[in-house]
Amino acid sequence: MIRLLATLITMAGTMAAQTPGQYADVNGLRMYYERHGRADAKGPPLVLLHGGVGGITMFGPNLPALAASRAVIAVELQGHGHTADIDRPLRYELMADDIAALLAQLKIPQADVMGYSMGGGVALQITIRHPQLVRRLVVVSEPVKRAGFFPEVLAVFDHMGPQAGAAMSQSPLATMYPTVNWATLFTKIGEMERQNYDWSADVRKITSPTMLIFADADAVTPAHIMEMWGLFGGGQHDAGLDGSGRPSGRLAIVPGTTHYDILSTDAVALLVAPFLDKP
């Protein structure tokens, strides 16, 4: 957790001022979102969903890289960033429904969706619960079941609570997001991440072309990365030597990175852009 906080603080301290955002009233939330990129871009917009504790700035240089040729809608989830918390628990399913409601309000019938860490879980649940909304799915550094994390990561979740929020009070993130109740946020994230879950059966039914991206030193175990890739039809002998039978999705490993700094360069954007642009 200390390493995560340090990375988030560093990223926040080096980011330029955010593009002025907008608010939408969805499911009791006053949800903050930003529009980036080209309004005249062909194809559906790309929705970006950040990881736990942080906000849109977590995408670092990947956001402008992705927005160079497409419309991007970056969202801050319940209790994060500029989106105030409400009296309900944090749950992947509820946050997924929030995004579905936002897209309906913006009159966007279909979008590409990319989520990092906690946002990756939300992206998976959007695709599971609202499959018609997702053209292409990108999941960065997030498992499909709790047991996919290393035991050391699960131990952090097991002890995550209000005391962890105290470390944020003097951080650049606290200056950037002065309205966040850090004690409540860490308590709710900890409570959510202690829930046992396994979405494998639902993930296997996903038909949207999907790209999985992990660090080579991720918080998700290598065994689960391959298990997860298998759910999307990857790693099969019958793909053929020429790759003609391979699935529509993609798997990428970003070398020299961890779960906590995989977005510190534009490497993820460089991998994702051709996948999103593929007819």
Output the domain CATH number for residue 270.
Answer: 3.40.50.1820
Residues 222, 91: Cα–Cα separation, whole Å: 25
Question: Coil, strand or helix: which one is 48?
Answer: strand
CA distances in angstroms from 99 to 49, 75, 102, 104, 134, listed in the order given:
9, 8, 5, 9, 11
Q: What range defines the domain where residue 108 resides?
A: 2-277
Inter-residue contact 232 to 210 (CB < 8 Å): yes
Total domains in the fold of the chain: 1
Tokens of 10: 């560093």
* CA atoms of 72 and 138, how far apart (whole Å): 14
Q: What residue type is 34 in one-letter code?
A: E
pTM, rounded to two decimals: 0.93
Sole residue written with tokens 């759910």: 231
Provide the residue type at 259 as one letter.
Answer: H
> How is residue 269 written in tokens?
């954007």
In tens digits, the chain (279 residues) has pLDDT values of 445 555 555 554 444 444 579 999 999 999 999 999 987 888 899 999 999 999 999 999 999 999 999 999 999 999 999 999 999 999 999 999 999 999 999 999 999 999 999 999 999 999 999 999 999 999 999 999 999 999 999 999 999 999 887 778 778 888 888 889 999 999 999 999 999 999 999 999 999 999 999 999 999 999 999 999 999 999 876 655 666 778 889 999 999 999 999 999 999 999 999 999 988
Three-state SS at 110? coil
Q: Are 30 and 23 in contact (CB under 8 A)?
A: yes
Q: Alpha carbon of 141 to those of 91, 124, 148, 257, 258: distances in Å?
A: 18, 12, 11, 11, 9
Distance CA 99, CA 136 (A): 15
